[in-house]
């Protein structure tokens, strides 16, 4: 399966283990507590941002990532602005859900 035939679920679950997710896993692998706290704060900033400038600031702190979005979320237009600037790239859309790819230039 590939391209438009690939269910959105496969790509989003495949990237579930990325930048920040499980609170316990980084501790199990002895990641430094300050690094865990920093990444968690960055993700909280990213998902609570309402303006594209806020999103862009946090994006540039992150490694390359896939971002799973709901078109009904209140800040979806900010993500669309980043896509129009070429910072986010569409991967797959299904109904109101969208998967975008961000390619980091710093990490």
Write out pLDDT tens, residues 27-45.
667 778 888 788 888 888 8
For residue 105, what are its two tokens? Answer: 């230039």
Beta-bridged to residue 100, according to DSSP, are 67, 90
pLDDT in tens, 75-100: 899 999 999 999 999 998 888 888 89
Say which range, 37-41, 64-68, 74-78, 103-107, has the weakest mean pLDDT.
103-107
Predicted model pTM:
0.67
Model pLDDT, residue 84: 95
Model pLDDT, residue 14: 47
Class of residue 68 by CB neighbours under 10 A (exposed 0-12, middle 13-18, buried 19+): middle
């Amino acid at each position: 399966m590939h391209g438009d035939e690939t269910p959105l679920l496969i790509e989003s679950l495949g990237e579930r283990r990325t930048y920040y997710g499980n609170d316990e896993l980084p501790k199990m692998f002895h990641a430094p507590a300050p690094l865990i706290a920093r990444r968690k704060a960055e993700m909280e900033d990213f998902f609570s941002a309402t303006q594209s400038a806020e999103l862009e600031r946090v994006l540039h702190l992150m490694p390359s990532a896939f971002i799973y979005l709901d078109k009904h979320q209140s800040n979806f237009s900010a993500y669309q602005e980043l896509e129009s600037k070429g910072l986010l790239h569409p991967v797959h859309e299904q109904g109101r859900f969208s998967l975008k790819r961000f390619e980091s230039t710093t990490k």
